[in-house]
Amino acid sequence: MITRVKNAPVIIFKHSTRCSISKVALNRMESGTTELGVDCYYLDLLKHRDISNQIAEHYQVEHQSPQILIIRNGQCQYSDTHMNITFEDVKKELVELA
């Protein structure tokens, strides 16, 4: 599904533009994603629910909104949802995956 260098992590952030919790989680992530040094993809669930469903099936993660996934080596290495999504946690996970 993700066709990048296999060992380089990729972040997928799934969010709903109508959800206030999703907006908070998005704000937490947007402020620092360039600092992470990885590719980050933002998926608007209202426009692309079909892609979100494909991601959930392919990586065997239950669909949530908002949701953040770290994909590496063709697998979902990390997933979190709702108010548990923080920039610091994602950064920590990326360091541990390095």
pLDDT in tens, 4-61: 556 789 999 999 989 999 999 988 887 777 778 888 899 999 999 999 999 999 999 9
Q: What is the mean pLDDT of residues 59-69?
A: 93
The reply to whether 21 falls in a domain is yes
Instruction: Identify whether 31 is part of a domain.
Output: yes
For residue 47, the SS3 value is: coil
Count structural domains, the chain. Answer: 1
**pLDDT value for 28:** 84
Q: Which of 73, 58, 67, 75 is nearest to 19 (CA)?
A: 67
Phi and psi of 25, rounded to 5°? -65, -40
Q: Which domain holds residue 75?
A: 10-85
- Kindly state whether residue 5 falls inside one of the protein's structural domains: no
Q: Given this model, what pLDDT does residue 4 score?
A: 56
Q: Is residue 1 assigned to a domain?
A: no
Residue 92 lies in a domain: no
90 lies in some domain: no
Give the CATH number, domain containing residue 24.
3.40.30.10
- Residue 26, in any domain of the structure: yes
